[in-house]
Structure 1
Amino acid sequence: MKQIVQSVSGGELRVVEVPQPEPGATEVLVATRRSLLSAGTERAVRELASASLLRKARARPDLVRQVVNRARTGGVRSTLAAVRSRLDEDMPLGYSAAGVVVTAGAATDGLRPGMRVATASAGHAEYQAVPGLLAVPVPDAVSDQAAAFGAVAAIALQGLRQAEVGVGGSVAVVGLGLVGQLTVRLALASGLTVVGIDLRGWTAELAGGAGALGLVEAGAATTEQVMEATRGRGVDAVLITAATTSSEPVARSAEIARDRARLVVVGDVGLDLDRRRFYERELDLRFARSYGPGRYDRAYEEWGVDYPIGHVRWTARRNVETYLDLVASGRVAVDDMVTHVFDVERATSAYEVLASDPRSLAVQLTYSAPAQPTSRVATIRPRHRSTSPRAGLIGAGTYAKATFLPALKAAGWGDDLAAITSAKGLSARHAAERNDIAVVAPTVEDLLARDDVDVAFVLSRHDSHAELAVRALDAGKHVFVEKPLALTRDELDDVLAAYDRNPGHLFVGFNRRHAPMVAYTRKVLTAGSGPITIAYRVNAGQLPAAHWYHDRRQGGRVRGEVCHFIDLASWLVGEQPRVVHAYGSGRGEPGLEEDVSVLLGYPDGSTATITYSTRGHRRTPKERLEILGRGHTVLIDDFRRLEVDGREVKRAPGGKGHQEQLAHVRAVITGNAPHQRGFEASIGTTEAALSAVAALAGIPQLPARLPTQIDVDSGVNAGISS
């Protein structure tokens, strides 16, 4: 399918071919008919993307602080790799469209194939995977052209709701671009007296033609006109829909508002304000958040959990519904605002008009993709067969692009990257172009069916790991699955059953076992005998509230990250834990605990304490591992410095073992490394992590099926492959 993308680093605009997205259970696949370019938002996005790195940094100082903090804890090299990966991405454009439902997920309600819908939060593309609650059925009386305004109109309507002005009241709309014009018309349909103010005469005339008092901003003269229209009182509310770095629109709004009026900021404006103006009239300054309640809420958008109407009357979906009903009844008209229409093939011309024509207001794209699409493979370069194992990647997120793919190529896989797939397609296309991957497969099924894929690398979200590992093994592939291997014991049973019935190798991404400093430490420790004591301190850092690790479906940080540290402790001991205790902070549900201590007891008397905290100082390095026993004291400081018995070891390089593990995977598959039957260490780690979560929930239990001994005779790579 065709999709419009823009380079994050340089702002270049392209129409690219990507596989159509695969909708989830709470999503619908929509064949787009019309999409709307939101002039203010898309101009701002394009300008920022086209700006220099210095200008980007000045515009987003919050992101700069995040980069600095990550560099302090995670290291400059890995941070630079992540930043370069982000800057090298292509981003989709657009968020307001209309089309026809192709397929509806099992957990969507009231949506069926063939239904016309207005969509929000989906870009300019022939096909969109849209959250079910953001796909709204379109009445027959509403054209595709008008329906495509749905998401932008919901933004205007949410601002109006924040104003809380009843019938007979008055509002001023400051800034008469697309959102401002829609706000004017929705306010008029609500029975309000409306004043529209802008710096441009033609936009003021357009607002006047809709029934408002359209004024060109002229300072005191404009204030006098507003006062005359409101019997000398001032307006009940001001909706600020302008887009400017200046604070003048907000400051001027205070002068035309009545005592105790509401000022609602809808657009992106400056907020360097004089407190006195707001204090003297006790003005209420508010902000409208996008389409309405539900926007940016994972439960609403991703899980399809609607807010009960008795508690939240107006949601993002209901705001779009309201707009469509107003158009259907004839109380709101928008067709006259459409100034330009282009076919998607000419999308670059549409953006050129947006940038060059000052009178471009509502620019739309049209599409003619069939409502019954066929899955197409995007070929990046010609296929070639190789005698080496060929790799297929499932997942193309930040970790895959910034860390995994560079390590994979450094480990010798560079010429054998056959195919890649991802849920939305665009990220896979981008990764393929940057890493010379031959094919972008539209779905996991397509990738696993390819005869030129010998090894499936599962790099997707945690809740898919076990299922994809089973499917890949049953498809006759060797499998590398990123940690965690499974999130429940039932999932682990399914993986083990698939492993037993198939001949393929199975590897798990516990890369720290393969770190050069760990290999050196193992040699030091195996020279002695007796138990060892391990203290592993992890300064994990806090994650944003919207981070996917907070999604209970993804298993939380104990199953998803603490498993790394459990695995390394067991690897160093040379055995699997017989006892697992875990203690948490008690904040939140046990499966999502973020501050925990895990105590592992081993059959030989060794112990390991893993302290995982999100509350340390941001300048503290992430990992510190101290081992005492067998006549030695070893310190691994964030995999950058190794100290044995008080002396720094220079000949063991840093790094967390990604490249070394992937080189080992290749060696095993090609027969150049010993083939171990079983992957006991990875099973043991998974069991121990699951036991830790159970302990946090107050369910004491011993890890099941754990072997008591890790095979250490064949070197640091033993015990991880089938």
Structure 2
Amino acid sequence: MKQVVQAASGGAVRVVDVPVPVIGPTEVLVATVATIVSAGTERAVTTLARSGLLTKARARPDLVRKVAEKARTDGLIPAARSVRDRLGADVPLGYSGCGRVVEVGSAVDRIRPGDLVATGGAGRANHAEFQAVPGLLCARVPGGVDPGAAAFATIGSIALHGLRLAEVGPGAKVVVVGLGLVGQLAARLALASGCDVAGIDLADLPLVTAEASGVRALRESGEATTAAVRAWSRGRGADAVLICAAGRSAEPVMRATALARDRAQLVVVGDVGLGLLRAPFYDKELTLRFARSYGPGRYERGYEEWGVDYPAGQVRWTEGRNQEAVLDLLAADRLRVDDLVTHAFPIDAAPRAYEIVATRSEPYLGIRFDYPASAASERVGSERVGSERVGSAVAGAALAHSAGPTRDRSVSPRPRVPRQRSAPAGRRGSRVGWIGAGTFSGSVLLPAFRAAGFDQLVTVASAGGRSARAFADRHGFAGAVAGADAVLDDDDVDVVVIATPHATHADLAARALERGRHVWCEKPLALSLDELNRVEKAAATGGGVLVVGYNRRFSPAVTAARAALADRDGPLTLSYRIAAGPVPADHWYNDRVQGGRLLGEVCHFVDTCAALAGSEVDTVTALAGREAELLLAPDVAVTLRHADGSLSAISYSSARPRGVRKEHLEALAGSRHVRIDDYRELVIDGRSTWKGPQDKGHHAAAAAFLRMCRGSDTGVTAELLASSRATLAAADALGAEVPRSPARLGS
């Protein structure tokens, strides 16, 4: 299918061919009829993409801090590689459209195939022939409403939400500063609500268009305009001012203070500067509010991704219900938008539209993209691949608990996993299918696989397809697809690499193994014992090799330390301290569906301790801090007893003091002392025996995996499964809600 994108590194807007997206349970697949360009927002995206690194850094200081932190902890080369990979990505454009429903996720109600719906862009509703849209942001279009008009619904929701924040009603005097597309819609919605509306702008086209709709149009001329507003409002000033302008200057907000009455509402809808003076706000005791996009639910994962609606009695006007309100006003002919369309282009000509937006070579308001009517019937059947919902599988959520006393859980001996069979005839482990096109995949994992000798890159999959297409082009894959099924069912694929969100790992790994594929699965392998048991069974019977991305056991520091400790005369005592650093509140580590930091990262350190001890874990205890629910605790202490009597203590902290490296490991055994400093140095009995750039073992792990796939190396599947089992036992020891066998953890 065709989609409009802007490369993050700059250049012109392009129309690219990408796979049709695969929907999740809470999504709807829509064949697009029309989309509307939100010029202000989209111009900001394309302008930033085309700017230099310094401008990008000034615009996104949060990302600069992340890069600096990565450089400090991992080194300059990995940080530069990560930046390069991010800049190589394509940014999809657009968020407001309309189309026909092709497919409906299992958790979506009130929407059926064939429905005409307005679409919102919180998920993947972009300028594309097919959109995968959150179900709560698909609003059925009432009869009689033209699809081109319905495509305005989401942009209209932005204006409507701003108007709702202004808290005005019939007879109120409302001023709209900035009569671009959102400003025009805000003014018309205010008129439809019974308000008297004045609009202010500098350009002819916006003023003429606004006046034709019944708005009192005023050209901005300073004091004269202020006097006109005061006369119009009987000397009081406006009851509310909606600031729909865009730009770096704070002047539109400061102008609003002069136009407003005492104790009026000022609502910032557009992207404007905020270098404000206090006095005008203080003198009039003005209320300054900021509209967050389409309304309540925006940026909330529960609403947009998981499809959990807010009760109407608690939140009457969500972003989805704002869409419905705009559509109802269109159906009742109380809102008109057809005259706002100044330009219409077929989707193939989208770059021309963005030239107009960037250069302002022609006056414009609404720009519409039209899509071929044959897209749904001709392309979905040939391009749709499978029904796998990459990134949308839902694991059992851990319930909140207060931290209780430490409990230990014995890890019963694992069932014996038969030695891996040699690869089936014709499968020599070199033809790679890659599931997941994230930054880690491109900047860390794929370079390791290339260096190891995996040189036949068959196909890469992502849920939406767009990121897979960009990943394939950037890294040399022969093909790109949407959805994991297209990789799992591809007979040209010998090796499946799984680098998707954590909640999808076990299902994808088991299905790939059941098909006889060799599998590299990034950690964690499973989020519950039921999942782990399924994968273990598939590994034992499928005939393929299974490796989990516990790369530290393959690092030069751990490999040399294991050799040095091989002749020890007693059990080990291991102490592993991790200063992992904090993560933002909206980070996926805080998503219970993805298993939290214990299951998602501490598993690395459990496996490293088991590898150094050379002995499986038989008993686990764990404690969590009190900051969050148990499974999501940012600070965790885990102790392990190994079968040979060795003891490991893992202290995982969300602190990251300046100057402190992330990982520090010490091992004591009799007269032997081993210390690993952040995988940059190995010290044995006080003498530095290895030192170099940080190496956590990714390259060596990939090389070992290739040897296993080709049958020239014995597998470590049993050890990796045992580490996964021990990590789940740690979660159980916390008292977290992780399912386990009622009889024993080992079955």
Q: In the alignment, which residue of structure 2 is the partner of 1:716?
A: none
Q: 2:445 aligns with which of 404, 415, 423?
A: 404
Query: Is the contact between residue 631 and residue 736 of structure 2 (CA under 8 Å) also seen in structure 1?
Result: no
Tell me the CA shift for residue 594 of structure 1: 1.6
Q: In the alignment, which residue of structure 2 is the partner of 1:717?
A: none
Tell me the CA shift for residue 66 of structure 1: 2.4
Query: Is the contact between residue 585 and residue 595 of structure 1 (CA under 8 Å) also seen in structure 2?
Result: yes
For residues 546-596 of structure 1, give each alpha carbon's deviation from its aligned partner in whole angstroms, at most 9, with x where no partner exists: 222222111111111110000001110111122111101123222222211
Secondary structure at the aligned position of 2:308 is classed as coil
Query: Is the contact between residue 729 and residue 745 of structure 2 (CA under 8 Å) also seen in structure 1?
Result: no
Query: Partner letter of residue 600 of structure 2?
Result: G
For residues 278-301 of structure 1, give each alpha carbon's deviation from its aligned partner in whole angstroms, at most 9, with x where no partner exists: 111111111000000001000000
Q: 1:374 aligns with which of 381, 384, 392?
A: 381
Q: In the alignment, which residue of structure 2 is the partner of 1:102?
A: 102
Mapped pair 1:523 → 2:527: no
Query: Is the contact between residue 428 and residue 494 of structure 2 (CA under 8 Å) also seen in structure 1?
Result: no
Query: Partner letter of residue 70 of structure 1?
Result: K
1:230-629, aligned counterparts within 5 Å? 230-355=233-358, 356-368=360-372, 369-372=374-377, 373-376=380-383, 389-413=430-454, 415-617=455-657, 619-629=659-669
Tell me the CA shift for residue 652 of structure 1: 6.6
Query: Partner letter of residue 722 of structure 2?
Result: G
Tell me the CA shift for residue 375 of structure 1: 4.0
Query: Is the contact between residue 69 and residue 619 of structure 1 (CA under 8 Å) also seen in structure 2?
Result: no
Secondary structure at the aligned position of 1:578 is classed as strand
Mapped pair 1:187 → 2:190: yes
Runs of 4+ in 1 over 3 A off after TM superposition: 385-388, 650-654, 698-707
Q: In the alignment, which residue of structure 1 is the partner of 2:407?
A: none
The separation in 2 between residues aligned to 1:706 and 1:326, in whole angstroms, is 61
Which range is displaced more, 653-662 or 393-402? 653-662
Aligned length: 698
The structure-2 alpha-carbon separation of the partners of 1:375 and 1:298, relative to structure 1 and needing over 3 Å to count, comes to farther
Secondary structure at the aligned position of 2:585 is classed as coil
Query: Is the contact between residue 683 and residue 706 of structure 1 (CA under 8 Å) also seen in structure 2?
Result: no
Query: Partner letter of residue 686 of structure 1?
Result: S
Which range is displaced more, 643-652 or 168-177? 643-652
List runs of 5+ in structure 1 lacking aligned partners: 379-384, 708-722
The separation in 1 between residues aligned to 2:744 and 2:613, in whole angstroms, is 19
Query: Partner letter of residue 371 of structure 1?
Result: A
For residues 113-146 of structure 1, give each alpha carbon's deviation from its aligned partner in whole angstroms, at most 9, with x where no partner exists: 0000100111111001100001111111211111
Tell me the CA shift for residue 358 of structure 1: 4.0
Mapped pair 1:155 → 2:158: yes
The separation in 2 between residues aligned to 1:630 and 1:118, in whole angstroms, is 71
Tell me the CA shift for residue 696 of structure 1: 1.4
Q: In the alignment, which residue of structure 2 is the partner of 1:690?
A: 728
Query: Is the contact between residue 687 and residue 704 of structure 1 (CA under 8 Å) also seen in structure 2?
Result: no
1:134-213, aligned counterparts within 5 Å? 134-213=137-216
Q: In the alignment, which residue of structure 1 is the partner of 2:36?
A: 36
Query: Is the contact between residue 620 and residue 638 of structure 2 (CA under 8 Å) also seen in structure 1?
Result: yes
List runs of 5+ in structure 2 lacking aligned partners: 386-425
Query: Is the contact between residue 73 and residue 619 of structure 1 (CA under 8 Å) also seen in structure 2?
Result: no
TM superposition score normalised by structure 1: 0.94
Query: Partner letter of residue 354 of structure 2?
Result: Y
Tell me the CA shift for residue 30 of structure 1: 0.4
Secondary structure at the aligned position of 2:100 is classed as strand
Q: In the alignment, which residue of structure 2 is the partner of 1:3?
A: 3
Query: Is the contact between residue 388 and residue 416 of structure 1 (CA under 8 Å) also seen in structure 2?
Result: no
The structure-2 alpha-carbon separation of the partners of 1:480 and 1:331, relative to structure 1 and needing over 3 Å to count, comes to same
Query: Partner letter of residue 710 of structure 2?
Result: T
Secondary structure at the aligned position of 1:270 is classed as coil
The separation in 2 between residues aligned to 1:416 and 1:529, in whole angstroms, is 46
Q: In the alignment, which residue of structure 2 is the partner of 1:226?
A: 229
The separation in 1 between residues aligned to 2:500 and 2:312, in whole angstroms, is 35
Q: In the alignment, which residue of structure 1 is the partner of 2:678?
A: 638
For residues 156-191 of structure 1, give each alpha carbon's deviation from its aligned partner in whole angstroms, at most 9, with x where no partner exists: 011111111122111111111111000000000000
Query: Partner letter of residue 685 of structure 2?
Result: D
Which range is displaced more, 283-292 or 76-85? 76-85
The structure-2 alpha-carbon separation of the partners of 1:673 and 1:542, relative to structure 1 and needing over 3 Å to count, comes to same
Query: Is the contact between residue 601 and residue 608 of structure 1 (CA under 8 Å) also seen in structure 2?
Result: yes
Query: Is the contact between residue 354 and residue 363 of structure 1 (CA under 8 Å) also seen in structure 2?
Result: no
1:646-665, aligned counterparts within 5 Å? 646-650=686-690, 654-665=694-705
Q: CA RMSD in A?
A: 1.9
The separation in 2 between residues aligned to 1:627 and 1:386, in whole angstroms, is 41
Q: What is the aligned-residue identity percentage?
A: 50
Tell me the CA shift for residue 704 of structure 1: 4.7
Which range is displaced more, 638-647 or 262-271? 638-647
The separation in 2 between residues aligned to 1:34 and 1:426, in whole angstroms, is 19
Tell me the CA shift for residue 386 of structure 1: 10
Query: Is the contact between residue 12 and residue 351 of structure 2 (CA under 8 Å) also seen in structure 1?
Result: no
Tell me the CA shift for residue 389 of structure 1: 2.1
For residues 30-87 of structure 1, give each alpha carbon's deviation from its aligned partner in whole angstroms, at most 9, with x where no partner exists: 0000011111111111111000111111222232122222322333222222111111
Query: Is the contact between residue 269 and residue 290 of structure 2 (CA under 8 Å) also seen in structure 1?
Result: yes
Query: Is the contact between residue 25 and residue 105 of structure 1 (CA under 8 Å) also seen in structure 2?
Result: yes
The structure-2 alpha-carbon separation of the partners of 1:561 and 1:100, relative to structure 1 and needing over 3 Å to count, comes to same
Secondary structure at the aligned position of 1:374 is classed as helix
Query: Partner letter of residue 567 of structure 1?
Result: D
The separation in 2 between residues aligned to 1:366 and 1:386, in whole angstroms, is 46
The structure-2 alpha-carbon separation of the partners of 1:418 and 1:386, relative to structure 1 and needing over 3 Å to count, comes to farther
Query: Partner letter of residue 2 of structure 1?
Result: K
